[in-house]
């Protein structure tokens, strides 16, 4: 829950302000930074008026038990109750409360704010999500029709793959699948949590249906579903029937081949990759070069399963794969030679193969491990040109009949890499670590500063928008880094939107030595913000982990708030491989005192210094060989 919640600020909250906005340029003077605590929240004594920032009027509440509500009463001396519960008001009039979700029969928040004799009331309507069906002991309803699975999804599987049939129905019902005069009874309450169709359907079994004696399920082979069998639920004289999904079979003829990223108009662009995951709902784990041909072995909704080699299947977005004509020849990939080609900034390991191989790269201590799927390797010649020693040597093995593994031993820890396809060769470009002046570690380096959002982003109780709030931090960070000798490239210097995908591309094209993305955090519905707030830093690749730790240390030193630690997390700004990249969530914009802190130039200064000191400490440690 924590892992997921931390990323929410990135994509869930939309900007509430649409009109023109202005922002003050950062002051050249350095405000006093209260190290280790947040700046004081200033007193505001405006006319009493209640404005709720979240949830919106009429919005559906996604939480079951309790949820947060935040906004401002514009007066720090006010008292406030929400649905009769007293709520603390900050000196600037802002508040956040974590309260029981209103009764579905009366879906309202009723707010009463008072200062002296002045009282203001506000009734704020919301929508409460349907609670799950309660089964009566007799009569209908005794089946939750929304829980029937598989229904609706577009599925393709091998004939004997198990498909999980499930439904939530009264424990004393009779439940079975009927197909071709055969009845297959479902089992009551027997199974624990798990996906409904093999491993293939995302979110088919929401947690609320699991672990209950009202859950009925069983597995049946995919071939049963060719014509869509019927699910029956019966109790006494009542019978309900549901047509289940039809499943297409993928193993009846010759293999079907598909080309990844086939529709891409920018296939030659180094930055374009096709992402794949271990399951349809899983995180990105593979990044393939467009034009790679793979076998198609299944489909579930918007996801297509592809085979990388005899032992591994992964899932890609269906829109990322184009099917090849029937009888398309299977790709043949064999490596018979390699060449190691040095350049001033990097070393290329050039591996000629007839076709692009699906691949993965693992970062090790002083090595990169390159796996080439569907590939055989028997190099008779490996040429190390110009006697360069960044790549010390390459050890290869045929790990399986159709899988090659290369361990590339380096003379220093990996700093960055790129996987490319160039004129008939797979190329792994290994970046040289920068030469660092130990006394002035940032001198001569290029740092990309990414003030996060817009589009999207979170908004605080007084209406401060994340995208606006992090921009002055980024501009101040540019000043701090420039003063320490770095060249700074900004992904954004104005309030307007910059596409998420273009930000890592900016960093790669600038040959940045580090990418720092600046964000403020928020939570999804149903999480207690008083327990879950704090500072954290996200990273994706192992070579960015030390940078994440050092920035996190500085954030805690500056702000003195709860240390949520560092997180491996799959976010676009942490995914670049060419440089260490991190995404900082320095404060929670939804918390009134933290929102006030980032409004304050002292808080902006503290955030910028944490990033500058963190990245400087990272390169100082590199200079010292640590």
Which positions lie near Zn ion, rule CB under 5 A?
Answer: 9-10, 452, 519
15 versus 349: smaller Cβ distance to Zn ion: 15
10 versus 436: smaller Cβ distance to Zn ion: 10
293 versus 584: smaller Cβ distance to Zn ion: 584
What the block records as the tokens of 272 is 């374009």
| Residues 103, 125: Cα–Cα separation, whole Å | 11
* Minimum CB–partner distance for residue 498 and Zn ion (Å): 13
* Minimum CB–partner distance for residue 399 and Zn ion (Å): 40
What the block records as the tokens of 238 is 């009542």
* Minimum CB–partner distance for residue 10 and Zn ion (Å): 5
User: Within a 10 A sphere around the Cβ of 434, how many other Cβ atoms?
Assistant: 19
307 versus 519: smaller Cβ distance to Zn ion: 519
In this structure, are strands 403-410 and 425-431 parallel, antiparallel, or unpaired? Answer: unpaired
599 versus 620: smaller Cβ distance to Zn ion: 599
215 versus 519: smaller Cβ distance to Zn ion: 519
* Minimum CB–partner distance for residue 79 and Zn ion (Å): 33
| Residues 614, 611: Cα–Cα separation, whole Å | 5
* Minimum CB–partner distance for residue 536 and Zn ion (Å): 12
* Minimum CB–partner distance for residue 477 and Zn ion (Å): 16
76 versus 586: smaller Cβ distance to Zn ion: 586
Would you say the C-alpha torsion 291, 292, 297, 300 has a positive or negative sign?
Answer: negative
| Residues 459, 522: Cα–Cα separation, whole Å | 8
204 versus 458: smaller Cβ distance to Zn ion: 458
Q: Are 461 and 53 in contact (CB under 8 A)?
A: yes
* Minimum CB–partner distance for residue 587 and Zn ion (Å): 11
> Whose CB is nearest to Zn ion?
519
What the block records as the tokens of 319 is 């829109």
367 versus 500: smaller Cβ distance to Zn ion: 500
Q: Half-sphere exposure (CA, 13 Å, Cβ side) for 92?
A: 21
Beta bridge mates, 149: 166
Element (H, E) at 415: none
- Structure letter (DSSP) for residue 201: -
9 versus 39: smaller Cβ distance to Zn ion: 9
Q: Helices 545-559 and 601-623, interaxial angle, to 10°?
A: 140
Element (H, E) at 610: helix 601-623
Residues near 29 by beta carbon (within 8 Å), at least 6 away in sequence: none
| Residues 456, 499: Cα–Cα separation, whole Å | 10
* Minimum CB–partner distance for residue 551 and Zn ion (Å): 16
* Minimum CB–partner distance for residue 250 and Zn ion (Å): 40
240 versus 507: smaller Cβ distance to Zn ion: 507
11 versus 284: smaller Cβ distance to Zn ion: 11
Distances in whole angstroms, Cα of residue 252 to Cα of each of 156, 249, 300, 313, 321: 12, 7, 18, 18, 21
What the block records as the tokens of 222 is 């995919």
118-132 burial, b if ≥16 CB within 10 A, otherwise e? Answer: eebebebebebeeeb
Would you call 614 helix, strand, or coil by DSSP?
A: helix
- Structure letter (DSSP) for residue 24: P
Q: Half-sphere exposure (CA, 13 Å, Cβ side) for 540?
A: 23
Q: Are 415 and 543 in contact (CB under 8 A)?
A: yes
* Minimum CB–partner distance for residue 9 and Zn ion (Å): 4
- Structure letter (DSSP) for residue 459: B
* Minimum CB–partner distance for residue 299 and Zn ion (Å): 33
* Minimum CB–partner distance for residue 519 and Zn ion (Å): 3
Four-point Cα dihedral 432, 433, 437, 443, nearest 10: 90
Task: Please name the residue ranges forming H helices in 357-509.
Answer: 466-483, 502-509
User: Within a 10 A sphere around the Cβ of 423, how many other Cβ atoms?
Assistant: 7
9 versus 195: smaller Cβ distance to Zn ion: 9
* Minimum CB–partner distance for residue 466 and Zn ion (Å): 5
């Amino acid at each position: 829950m924590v892992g997921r919640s931390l990323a929410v600020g990135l994509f869930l909250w939309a900007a509430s302000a649409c009109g023109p906005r202005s922002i003050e340029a950062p002051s050249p003077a350095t405000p006093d930074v209260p190290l280790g605590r947040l700046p004081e929240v200033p007193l505001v004594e405006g006319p009493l008026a209640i404005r709720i920032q979240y949830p919106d009027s009429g919005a559906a509440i996604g939480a079951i038990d309790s949820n947060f509500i935040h906004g401002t009463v514009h007066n720090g001396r006010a008292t406030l109750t929400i649905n009769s519960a007293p709520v603390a008001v900050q000196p600037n009039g802002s508040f956040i409360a974590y309260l029981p979700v209103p009764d579905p029969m009366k879906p309202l928040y009723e707010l009463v704010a008072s200062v002296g004799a002045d009282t203001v009331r506000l009734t704020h309507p919301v929508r409460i999500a349907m609670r799950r069906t309660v089964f009566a002991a007799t009569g209908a309803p005794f089946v939750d029709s929304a829980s029937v699975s598989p229904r609706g999804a577009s599925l393709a599987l091998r004939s004997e793959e198990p498909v999980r049939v499930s439904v939530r129905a009264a424990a004393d019902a009779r439940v079975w699948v009927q197909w071709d005069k055969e009845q297959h009874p479902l089992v009551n309450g027997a199974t624990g949590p798990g996906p409904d169709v093999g491993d293939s359907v995302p979110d088919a079994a929401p947690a609320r249906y699991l672990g209950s004696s009202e859950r009925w399920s069983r597995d049946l082979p995919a071939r049963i579903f060719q014509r869509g069998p019927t699910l029956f639920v019966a109790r006494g004289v009542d019978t309900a029937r549901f047509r289940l999904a039809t499943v297409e079979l993928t193993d009846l003829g010759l293999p079907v081949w598909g080309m990844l990223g086939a529709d891409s108009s920018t296939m030659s662009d180094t930055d374009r990759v096709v992402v794949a995951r271990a399951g349809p709902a899983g995180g990105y784990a593979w990044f393939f070069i467009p034009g790679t041909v793979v076998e198609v072995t299944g489909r579930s909704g918007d996801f297509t399963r592809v085979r990388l080699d005899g032992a591994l299947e992964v899932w890609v977005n269906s829109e990322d794969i184009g099917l090849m004509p029937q009888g398309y020849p299977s790709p043949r990939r064999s490596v018979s030679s390699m060449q190691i080609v040095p350049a001033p900034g990097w070393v290329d390991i050039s591996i000629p193969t007839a076709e692009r191989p699906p691949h993965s790269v693992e970062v090790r201590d002083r090595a990169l491990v390159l796996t080439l799927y569907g590939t055989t390797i028997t190099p008779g010649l490996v040429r190390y040109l110009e006697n360069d020693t960044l790549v010390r040597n390459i050890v290869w093995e045929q790990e399986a009949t159709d899988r090659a593994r290369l361990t590339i031993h380096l003379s220093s820890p990996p700093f960055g890499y790129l996987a490319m396809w160039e004129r008939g060769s797979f190329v792994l470009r290994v970046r040289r670590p920068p030469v660092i002046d130990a006394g002035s570690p940032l001198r001569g380096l290029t740092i990309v500063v990414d003030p996060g959002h817009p589009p999207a982003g979170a908004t605080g109780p007084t209406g401060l928008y994340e995208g606006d709030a992090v921009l002055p931090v980024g501009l101040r960070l540019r000043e701090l880094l420039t003063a320490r000798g770095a060249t700074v490239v900004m992904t954004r210097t104005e309030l307007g939107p910059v596409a998420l995908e273009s930000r890592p591309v900016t960093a790669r094209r600038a040959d940045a030595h580090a990418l720092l993305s600046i964000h403020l955090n928020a939570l999804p519905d149903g999480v207690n913000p008083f327990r879950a707030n704090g500072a954290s830093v996200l990273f994706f690749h192992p070579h960015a982990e030390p940078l994440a730790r050092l920035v996190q240390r500085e954030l805690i030193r500056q702000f003195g708030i709860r240390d949520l630690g560092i997180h491996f997390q799959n976010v676009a700004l942490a995914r670049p491989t060419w440089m260490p990249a991190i995404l900082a969530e320095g404060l929670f914009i939804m918390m009134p005192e933290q929102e006030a802190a980032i409004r304050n130039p002292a808080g902006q200064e503290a955030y910028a210094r944490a990033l500058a000191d963190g990245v400087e400490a990272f390169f100082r440690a590199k200079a010292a060989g640590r």
